[in-house]
Each structure stands twice: as structure tokens, then as C-alpha cells.
Structure 1
Amino acid sequence: MRVLFVSWAWPTHFYPMVPLAWALRAAGHEVRVAAPPGIEAQVTAAGLPFVQVGRDLDAVARFRAYIPGRASGSPGRGPRAVSLFADLADAMADDLVAFARAWQPDLVVHEPTAYAGPLAAAAVGARAVRMPWGADLMHRQATLEAERRELTPLLARFGLDAVDTLGALTVDLCPAAMQVPEESRPGALDRRPMRYLPYNGAGRVPVPLPPAERRRPRVCVTWGTTVGRLDASLFLAGEVVAALDALDVGIVVAVAAQQRPLLGDLPERAKVIESVPLHCVLPHCDLVVAHGGAGTILTGLAHGLPQLVVPQLIDHTFNAERFAATGAGISLPRAGADAAGIREAVLRLLEEPSYRKAAEEVRAENDRRPAPAQVARQLAEFAGGGGPC
């Protein structure tokens, strides 16, 4: 079987697909990852064959307009980000369809904002499989209507009247408690659960690792990679570390090397770890303080860790609210995230065992889900049988 993975150049949308791509290759299937040039380094570092399609667009500038409280110009029709995702698809489509016609994939696996994926699948008669990176925030009626409007000119270029951006099947990594509520989704989808297996990028693990036995709890502070790219003023990791310095806790700061200057001056006892995959850091920690990105929250839950989340972006706010509802952590609004508020929340999370218990329950739920190898077998049956597996 030939499987074509499609993403645009946003690493946090690509990373959740890596374990499934590995599983398919290990099972003997041919795998390619098609994406714009801006993500080539991340794809090849993951050990996957890269196919360059299209050109990069300045998505960061467009995303900045969606930060709450900022002027965003004309809102356009429907959810504003759909217009950006349609432009990204337009920049990829010609090369992607040409490659798909030459390579003839059986399946096209795409993340939900990579509209060029289902377009290419339709153009060559392959089956499209969606793979959201967290909660399925794109499965909403207003989004689907905006997609149809925005994609019509692009589809016409390839002689297509319509494309189902929801695909034939959705691989679902999100714990049920954090998923978009069923009543908020427009119709049922063929969803196949898969265990969230953390892949937070390639990186060198420091030696020696922090010791497993500790006399005091250790807190990991991390602010992902997206927030700092969009607005340095929203990168609060340095402020969080300064607040924690008054507590009797160990402090580990996980940060991308290029964002190290955003931390500012830190207490000497704070240990900064640069560009180390988060899943290699968290086994040595007791608590996470972060920004609410799906990858960070799910990686923390995969290790059974309670978390304090201080979101600023719209999707991070949704993630934080759903996460807090699981009982595994606390969502603190920016207005309440002063030094005293951060310290109070961290102490509650460390001292009240219910938070750790809830996090362990979500971890157990994740562990019961089918592993990527099992889902790879399901996809092979799905592609070969022409119907549900």
C-alpha cells in the first residue's frame, strides 16, 4: 500500500502524524510526506521521505491577526483562518496533484487544515483520511460552510465540483474528555481512536538526565514553539519561572534554542534545557506549567502529569477549558496569572492528590487506545477492502 501524508509547513500539525507514518513503514508500506519546503528539516529529522510541493506562505503574519484583542481587518466570510488555509492549499495543489498522479497513493492522510490533501485524493481517486492534532476543532458547521466557499475556485481548476474535507475516515488522537462535544459536531464521522504517542520533534537528550529520585517536586515550564513566533509578549515562561523561584520546587525550563532569549534573566537554580523533545523531559517531572497547546497538554497527559495552563490564543483557550474539566489541572486566565496566582495554583496541583489521580486516569484511557501499529493494520484493510474495516 502507498500512503501519502500531507501537511503544510507548521510542525505542530505534522508531528502527531509521525508515529502512524512510522508504523506504516514498519509494516512494509510505502510512505511519503508531501509538504512545502519550510518543513523539510522536520520531516527528514523524523526519518521520513520528503516530497517538496508548492511554496511557503507567511502564515505567521496572518495568524497574528487572529490573536484576541488585535485589529484583524476585514473578517471575511466565515471563520477567518479558513481563508489562510485555502491560500496554503492553493500554493501546494499543483505540485501535490502532479505528484499524486505520478505516484498513485492508495491513501492520503492529511491534517485538517491541509486542504490540498483531500483535493489530491479526489483528483486521483484515493481515499482521504483526516488526522487532527488534538481536539477536532475544524469539525464545525460554520467551518465546513466557509471551506466550501473558499475552496470552490481551487477545485474548479482541477475539474472538481466538491471535495469532502472531512474525508472517508478520521484518526482520533484526542482523549474523549477533551474532544469537541458530540452535540457541537455537524453529523457523525467514521472515527478510529488511536493512542497519542508523543513525538515532539527530534533533538539531543542531555546526559546525564535529571535523576529519577528527588527530595522535592520538579516543575517543567514550557511555552511551546508557536506562541513565541506570533508574539513575544505572550511568551510568559520567564515570568512563570520568576514566580516559582519563591517555592521549594525544582524548576526545569524546556524551550526551543531559538526562543531562549525570550526567557530573559532567570534564577540560577532554574535548569534550562534547549531543543530537547518534551516527551524526554516530562518523565523526570511532577507538574507542567504551559500555554495550552494541544501537543503539550497531550504529552503531559500521556505521562499522567497534572498541569497549570495559561492560554492566550483561541484554540489554546478551548484546550485549557476542556483539560480543566477533566480534573487533571487548572486553567488560569492571563488576568489571574500574576506571581501570586501562579504560586497558588502550582501548590494546589502539587498538594491535592485529585489532580494527579485524574491525570493518571486520562493516561490510562490513552494507553487503552489502539497503538499506531494496530491503526496501520486497520488502514491497510480500509484501503484494500473499499469499505469500513
Structure 2
Amino acid sequence: MRLLFTTWAWPSHLYALVAQAWACRAAGHEVLVASQPALAGEIGRCGLPAAVTGHDVDAVAMVRRYVIGAPRTDAGGRGGGPRAAEMFLAHAESMTEALVELTADFRPDVVVYEPTALAGPLAAAVQGVPAVRHLYGTDLMARAGQVLPGLLAPLAERYGLDGVDPFGALTLDPTPPSLRPPAAPPALPVRYVPFNGGGRPVTLPKPGAPRLCVTWGHTMAKLSAERFLLPEVVRALHPLGVELVAAVSAAQVPLLGRLPEGVRVVVDAPLHGLLDTCDGVVAHGGAGTVLTALHHGLPLLLVPQLPDHAGHAGAVAGAGAARLLPVADATPRRLREECRRLLEDGAPRTAARRLREEMRRQPPPAARVGALVSAAGRPVRPSDN
């Protein structure tokens, strides 16, 4: 069987697909990962074959516009719908033509796409093969279900389609059941396998005091240095007397400034390996960070600044595994208070461990290869199970 995986050029969205793509390769299937030019190198670093489709879109500029409330610039000159949906449409318009050509050449049996890569179901529909959504966090696209079909209609009409279902024929969901929105479409659960990039793993020695990992993902630093709150969060938490590990990228190092003595800075290391000896995580609310922390049963203090971060953070806080602090209230005093409660109150840790057990009970990616084979209309072979 041939499987085409696709995402637009955002590394964290790619990382969410890696475990399933490798499970399919290990089962003997042919896998190709398609994205815009900016992501080709990262796909290769994940050990997967890459195909370049379309052209790059300045996603950072688009996110910056809707975060700071700048005047609306509609993708393709059309109005209506959430700003984020406009950005997803811009990526779809960038990729669809080339992705349609690629599906005609590669002839995949199924197209697997992350939920915001809407060129995926479009190209699958043109080729007449099923499209499978693979979520990377809480299903926030469910609330856009009334908007997306109309948003995609002009692109669908271009290829003679009456419409395209943005939710595909099947959804694979790596989040624990407690984080699923009530209105989300049906989904097959799949175990979350952390993949946070191809950097060299770092294992920290066991600490003598409580250890907190502070990380702020990649997006906020790209938007502006002022929104990259990690340095001020670290400085605010230092008086607590806990061990602080700042997990950053090489691009973020110049933004750190002078940090207090004793803060451990780890650069370009996969988050998964860092959390084995940590007692909690302080972060921005990104889906990969949240799920990796829950994979380790760690409670979180989350300070979201983007709508999707707020959605993921709200879900895990609603399940009791995180404390949520609005950015406007994230003063040094409040940060210290919330971290102290996170470490001293056993309820968030208990809830995080409960979510970890939910995640462990879900079938691993290898067990879902058969579902992809079935979606493609082929019989499941014993080796696919």
C-alpha cells in the first residue's frame, strides 16, 4: 500500500505524523511525506522521504496579524470565517495544485493529513482515495465544522468537486479521551508517541530539589521577542529554590539575556528525554508540549497567548492536570504562587497520571496501520495488525 502524509510547513505539525508514518513503513508500506519547500529538510531529518509541493506561505506574518489584531487581510481576497481558517486556506491554495499532481503520479491508496492541512482532503478527493485526519492535539477544528466546507468550496469547484469533507473518512486521535471536545467527530484513539525533533537526546541527572522544565515552543519567539516569555518566567521562578531547566532552540538563545545562576539551559534537545526527571512543566500551551508532559504524567502551569494554545491549555486544565494563568496576570508573584501550588497540591499530578494511563491504554501507531489499510479498501493482512 502507498500512503501520502501531508502537512504545511510547521515542524510541530509534522512531528505529530512521524510515529504513524514510521509505523506504516515498518509494516512494509510505501510512505511519502509532502509539504511546502521550507519543511523538506526537516522531513529528511525525521528519516522520511519528502516531496515538495507548492510554495511557502508566511505563516508567521499571518499569525502575527491575528494575534495583534491588525486589519484583516483575507486569504484569496475572500472574507468570512476565523482568522486562523484564513491562514489554513492560504496554505491549501499554496499546496493543492502541486499535491493533486503528486497524487496523480504517486497514486496513494490513502492520504493522511494533519487537521489544518486542508490540501490533503482536496487532493484525495480529486484522486478518488480516502483521506484520514491525524490530530496533533485536542480537536480544535471541530468548532470550525460549519465554516470549513464553504471556505474550501471555491477550491473544490476548481477541480469539479461538489464539495470536500474537511474531516476526512477517518480520524486518528492521539489525545486521551478526557481531552476530547464533546462535539468532536468520531475518532479512533491512537497512543501518543512523543517526537519533538531530531536533536540529540539529553538525559539529566536526578535532582536534589524539585525540578521544573520551562519551555515556550517555537511559535512565540518567531512572532516577537516580547511574546517569548521564557526568560522572564525563569527569572520570576528562581526565588522558589527549585531547579529550573530552560529548554530552548538555538534560535532562541540570543533572546535569553542574563539568566539567574544555576538555571540549566538545554538547547535543541527533544523535550521527551528532558522530562524523565522533572516534577512539572511551565509552558505556553502548545499541543506537543502538553501531550509530551502528560506522557510523563507531569502537571503543567500554562500561560497561553494564541487561540489554539488557549484551546489545548483549557482542555488539560479542565481535566485537572494543569493550572491556567492568563498572560495578563502572569506577574512574577503570580507565577511563583501558581508554581508553588502546582508542586504542593497533589491533585494536578494525580490528574496528569490519570491522563497518562488513558494514553497508555490507547493502541500504538502500529496497531492502527490496519485501520489505514481498511480505509483504503484493502483487506488487512496479518502483518498489518
Q: Counterpart of 2:196 in structure 1: which amino acid?
A: N
Q: Counterpart of 1:51 in structure 2: which amino acid?
A: A
Gaps of 5+ in 1: none
Could you tell me whether the CA contact under 8 Å between 1:78 and 1:145 is conserved in 2? no
Give the alignment of 1:251-330 within 5 angstroms: 251-330=244-323
Q: Which residue of 2 aligns with 1:41?
A: 41
RMSD, aligned CA: 1.7
Q: Which residue of 2 aligns with 1:97?
A: 100
How far the C-alpha of 1:74 sits from its partner, in A, is 5.7
Give the alignment of 1:185-264 within 5 angstroms: 185=184, 188-189=185-186, 191-206=187-202, 209-212=203-206, 214-264=207-257
Q: Deviations over 1:240-285 (max 9, x none)?
A: 1101211121111000110112222101210100110100111121
% identical equivalent positions: 48
* Secondary structure class of the residue paired with 1:38: helix
Q: Counterpart of 2:352 in structure 1: which amino acid?
A: A
**Greater alpha carbon shift after TM alignment, 20-29 vs 329-338:** 329-338
Q: State the TM-score, normalizing by the size of structure 1.
A: 0.93
1:81 aligns with 2:84: yes
* Secondary structure class of the residue paired with 1:66: helix
* Secondary structure class of the residue paired with 2:246: strand
Q: Which residue of 2 aligns with 1:63?
A: 63
Q: Counterpart of 1:346 in structure 2: which amino acid?
A: C
Matched residues, number: 377
Q: Deviations over 1:136-167 (max 9, x none)?
A: 11112xx2343233322222222222111111
Q: Counterpart of 1:249 in structure 2: which amino acid?
A: V
Q: Which residue of 2 aligns with 1:152?
A: 153
* Secondary structure class of the residue paired with 2:374: helix
Q: Counterpart of 1:91 in structure 2: which amino acid?
A: S
Q: Which residue of 1 aligns with 2:32?
A: 32
How far the C-alpha of 1:177 sits from its partner, in A, is 1.9
* Secondary structure class of the residue paired with 1:32: strand
1:117 aligns with 2:120: yes
How far the C-alpha of 1:229 sits from its partner, in A, is 0.9
* Secondary structure class of the residue paired with 1:384: coil
How far the C-alpha of 1:385 sits from its partner, in A, is 4.2
Gaps of 5+ in 2: none
**Distance in 2 (alpha carbons) for counterparts of 1:72 and 1:177:** 37
**Distance in 1 (alpha carbons) for counterparts of 2:223 and 2:139:** 22
Q: Deviations over 1:55-85 (max 9, x none)?
A: 1011111111111x52333673021222221
